[in-house]
Structures are given as structure tokens and as C-alpha cells.
């Protein structure tokens, strides 16, 4: 029986596999194996014992079903793994799990899961970056209405809008690169963090275990890896999904029929928009991104609570983290992939953008204030003239140009200047240059992130 929608609806198989029950067991057994390897290298256990443990682990002889049988009897999940592994060993049996505690294995295995997830996470961010960069480049001069407070404002370009979003993603990639060494760390320093059972070489032994596993060592730990690392991971994921929600919300708004400037791809040959209204073309993918982004953000709350434990450790973090870390990672990957596909298939309706822009000449008010000021009218006087003309136009149900003409304000400008003002593309400032700058930044960050992978 499936209960979680992750099992049948959301998430990519390859990412979900990282956090599956079987994979978690394999990660934990790998930690036990590499622990034994380092202990043999430091002459703490015989080399034959390590090779025996390694053989048992690499043979996949330890099965989830057997671990569950033992756990049902002894009521301890990690000790069940230790016993199941010991059953498959000969020489190594008496050295399995020597000198360590449960969370040495659990937290180090979690670090391995996060490490493997991180590869997908970085790929996702770079894929999203590329899909957005294409839109920035293609539409750097596609003029459209700017909107502030939900109202029409001065013109922008769709490329600039996307450049603003792309700059945000660029920073997320930088953060992800910078945070990687902090959020991924393991430890094997025993039940109170002293490494006493491992002897004088405990710190060097820990570093060696993490080296062969390909992750960092915790600098100073209690029984567990410090949870500020997990809080930072959740914060990083939350920042990303918050941006995705913003992007998706903009698409949903611009797809509204009264605006109709962009649209998600819709397969009109077979896709169904509504079970009751067959005419509907809904932005369901963007809505899905919004919904799941809100859920991902919620997982940081239990991690904040999990970061507060008594003394060297209690068990209050254990249950919640079985949900929060896998769910946040799987769903973040899911919405990143979906958002990139939305952008790749986005229908940009240039004609409608221009239509909406030309239908409302009140968006020229900023331009008129600027040109009047440049022609010699004091700026505050120019602002008041255009404000008064706008209010009269609203009251008389006419347009701004007519109101400015009736009030004699247009006469203060040359005909050539008035004609130039009517061209919205002439008042998008340095939009094109900004697009170029953000695209160059994206390429630079992309190279740095690939080099850091």
C-alpha cells in the first residue's frame, strides 16, 4: 500500500533511490566498511578482519528483510544492521562497528546521501540557468508592460524580466557551490564526540574514513553531526524554491486571459484542461511548482527544532529528519526540473505584449515627466502637470495624450519629441545591456560551478 505521494506521483526515480530504504542500508554498510578499512590501516584491527567485512558489504549479502527481523526483536535500528552484517562475516565479525556509535554511521550515511543528491541539485540549477538564459537572449528587446502594485507601469522588456530572475538563479548557484563543504560532513567520534574508544589516532582515523568516502569531517561533534549544517541545507533549498515560486507565479499571472502575454506549453491535440470546462488551458505546471515550493519550505521548521538537543544528544531529531531531509531534497529536484521544462516550452506572445502596452498610454507618464524636465520645466512642476492631466483623463474617461493636449502641456514639447515618446522601445533604458551583463555572469558562474563539481 502506497501512502506518500512520493511513491507514486512526485520525484524522479534516480533521486528517490538515493533516499530509499535499500539505499540507506547500503550507505550505512559502506560507512562500516570504510571505518574498518581505516582501522586496519591504523593497525587497530587486523587487515583480514577488514577484508572480511569488505567482502560481506560488497557482496550485498545483508538484506533489508533480515535487518527488519532483527530490529523487530531488539528494537534498535543500527544495532540490527550491525548484527546482520556480523552474521555475514567470519574474521571481521568481532570488529564490526568497533569504537563508534549509531549516529557515526547514520550521520555519515546521511552526508553521503546529501552528496549524491547534490550532484543532481547542481545539474538542475545549471539546466534551469540555461533555459532562462535562452529566454533572456531571445527577448532582450521584446517590449512589454512593466507592472507595479499590480498596475500598469513604465515599459520593460521580457528579456529584462527574465534577466532579473536569471541573476537570482546565478546567486543560488554561487551559494550552492559555497555551501557544499559545509552541509556535507560525517563523523566517527563515538557517543560523546571524544573518540576515546578509537585511541590517540581518533582524529586522523576520522579524517581517513571521510577521505575514502569523499566527504568532509566534522570539526567538533557531540554524538551527532552539528545540525546547523542541515539547517543551512534547508535554507539553501528554501531560497531556490522560493525563487521558483516567484517565477511560476509570474507565469500564472501573465497567462490570465485578460493579460495573455505568456503561456505554458499546452498539447492541444490531447491535453485536457478541465474535467468540466473543456475550453480551459490552465497553468497547471506552474501551479504545481508553487504548491510544492510551499511544502519544501515547511521542512525547515522541524529541522530548526531538531537542531536543539539535550547535552551531547537525545533522540528528538531522529524521526523528523527521516521526513524532512529526503522530502525536501526530492521535491526540490522535482520542481527544479519542472521549472526548467516550463521555461523551455514557454509561449511568449510578443504581439499581445505590444497590444497591451499600446492600449494604455498612461504608461508614458514617467517619460513625459522626464522630457518636460529636460526641456526646462522644473521636475516637481512637470510631475504635477502630468499627475493632474492623468487624473483628469481618468475622470473624463479619455487617454493621457488627449488630456495633456487639452491642458496645453504637449505644446511644451516638439512634435518630434512627442512622436518619439510614443515608441515604447525608446524608453526601456539599459535593458539590453543588463541582459548582456547577466548572461555573461551566468556563463562565468557556470564555469566556476563545473570546476567545483
Distances (CA, A) of 112 to 24, 183, 243, 398: 9, 11, 27, 66
Cα 353 off chain centre by: 30
Rounded to an integer, what distance in angstroms lies between the CA atom of residue 142 and that of residue 146? 12
- Candidates 149, 269, 275, 279; catalytic one: 149
Rounded to an integer, what distance in angstroms lies between the CA atom of residue 146 and that of residue 155? 5
Q: 270 CB contacts (<8 Å, ≥6 apart)?
A: none
Q: Which among 124, 145, 144 is positioned nearest to 339, based on CA atoms?
A: 124
Angle between helices 102-138 and 318-344 (to 10 degrees): 20
Name the β-bridge partners of 157.
143
Name the β-bridge partners of 216.
185
Rounded to an integer, what distance in angstroms lies between the CA atom of residue 232 and that of residue 239? 10
Task: Reply yes or no on whether 149 is catalytic.
Answer: yes
Rounded to an integer, what distance in angstroms lies between the CA atom of residue 213 and that of residue 347? 45
Rounded to an integer, what distance in angstroms lies between the CA atom of residue 435 and that of residue 163? 6
Rounded to an integer, what distance in angstroms lies between the CA atom of residue 300 and that of residue 29? 28
Rounded to an integer, what distance in angstroms lies between the CA atom of residue 248 and that of residue 254? 10
Name the β-bridge partners of 155.
145
Q: 194 CB contacts (<8 Å, ≥6 apart)?
A: 202
- Candidates 76, 119, 181, 274; catalytic one: 274
Rounded to an integer, what distance in angstroms lies between the CA atom of residue 106 and that of residue 112? 10
Grid cell at residue 31: 560507512
Angle between helices 228-254 and 158-183 (to 10 degrees): 170
Q: Which among 417, 421, 389, 384 is positioned nearest to 405, based on CA atoms?
A: 389
Q: 98 CB contacts (<8 Å, ≥6 apart)?
A: 35, 36, 39, 44, 45, 197
Task: Reply yes or no on whether 444 is catalytic.
Answer: no
Q: Which residues does the annotation mark as catalytic?
A: 149, 274
Amino acid at each position: 500500500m502506497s501512502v506518500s505521494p512520493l511513491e507514486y506521483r512526485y520525484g524522479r526515480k534516480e533521486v528517490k533511490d538515493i533516499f530509499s530504504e535499500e539505499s540507506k542500508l547500503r550507505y550505512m554498510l559502506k560507512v562500516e566498511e570504510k571505518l574498518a578499512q581505516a582501522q586496519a590501516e591504523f593497525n587497530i584491527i587486523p587487515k583480514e578482519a577488514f577484508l572480511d567485512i569488505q567482502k560481506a558489504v560488497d557482496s550485498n549479502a545483508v538484506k533489508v528483510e533480515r535487518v527488519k527481523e532483527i530490529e523487530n526483536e531488539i528494537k534498535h535500528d543500527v544495532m540490527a544492521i550491525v548484527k546482520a552484517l556480523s552474521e555475514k562475516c567470519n574474521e571481521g565479525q568481532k570488529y564490526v562497528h568497533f569504537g563508534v556509535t549509531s549516529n557515526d554511521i547514520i550521520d555519515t550515511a546521511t552526508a553521503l546521501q546529501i552528496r549524491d543528491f547534490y550532484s543532481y541539485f547542481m545539474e538542475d540549477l545549471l539546466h534551469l540557468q540555461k533555459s532562462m538564459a535562452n529566454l533572456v537572449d531571445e527577448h532582450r528587446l521584446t517590449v512589454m508592460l512593466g507592472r507595479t502594485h499590480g498596475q500598469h507601469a513604465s515599459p520593460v522588456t521580457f528579456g529584462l524580466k527574465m534577466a532579473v530572475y536569471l541573476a537570482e538563479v546565478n546567486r543560488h548557484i554561487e551559494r550552492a557551490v559555497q555551501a557544499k563543504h559545509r552541509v556535507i560532513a560525517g563523523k566517527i567520534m563515538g557517543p560523546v564526540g571524544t573518540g576515546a574508544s578509537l585511541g590517540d589516532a581518533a582524529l586522523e582515523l576520522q579524517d581517513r574514513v571521510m577521505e575514502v568516502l569523499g566527504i568532509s569531517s566534522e570539526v567538533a561533534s557531540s554524538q551527532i553531526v552539528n545540525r546547523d549544517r542541515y539547517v543551512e541545507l534547508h535554507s539553501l533549498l528554501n531560497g531556490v524554491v522560493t525563487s521558483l515560486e516567484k517565477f511560476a507565479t509570474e507565469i500564472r499571472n501573465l497567462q490570465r486571459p485578460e493579460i495573455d502575454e505568456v503561456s505554458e506549453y499546452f498539447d492541444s491535440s490531447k491535453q485536457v484542461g478541465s474535467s468540466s470546462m473543456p475550453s480551459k488551458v490552465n497553468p497547471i505546471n506552474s501551479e504545481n511548482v508553487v504548491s510544492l515550493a510551499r511544502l519544501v519550505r515547511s521542512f525547515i521548521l522541524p529541522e530548526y527544532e531538531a537542531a536543539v538537543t539535550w547535552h551531547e544528544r537525545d533522540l528528538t531529531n531522529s524521526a523528523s529528519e527521516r521526513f524532512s531531509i529526503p522530502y525536501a531534497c526530492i521535491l526540490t529536484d522535482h520542481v527544479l526540473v519542472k521549472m526548467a521544462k516550463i521555461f523551455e516550452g514557454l509561449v511568449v506572445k510578443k504581439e499581445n505584449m505590444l497590444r497591451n502596452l499600446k492600449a494604455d498610454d498612461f504608461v508614458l507618464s514617467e517619460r513625459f515627466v522626464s522630457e518636460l524636465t529636460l526641456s526646462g520645466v522644473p521636475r516637481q512642476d512637470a510631475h504635477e502637470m502630468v499627475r493632474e492631466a492623468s487624473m483628469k483623463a481618468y475622470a473624463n474617461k479619455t487617454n493621457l495624450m488627449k488630456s495633456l493636449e487639452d491642458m496645453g502641456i504637449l505644446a511644451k514639447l516638439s512634435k518630434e519629441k512627442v512622436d518619439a515618446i510614443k515608441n515604447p522601445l525608446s524608453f526601456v533604458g539599459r535593458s539590453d545591456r543588463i541582459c548582456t551583463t547577466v548572461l555573461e555572469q551566468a556563463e562565468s558562474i557556470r564555469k566556476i560551478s563545473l570546476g567545483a563539481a
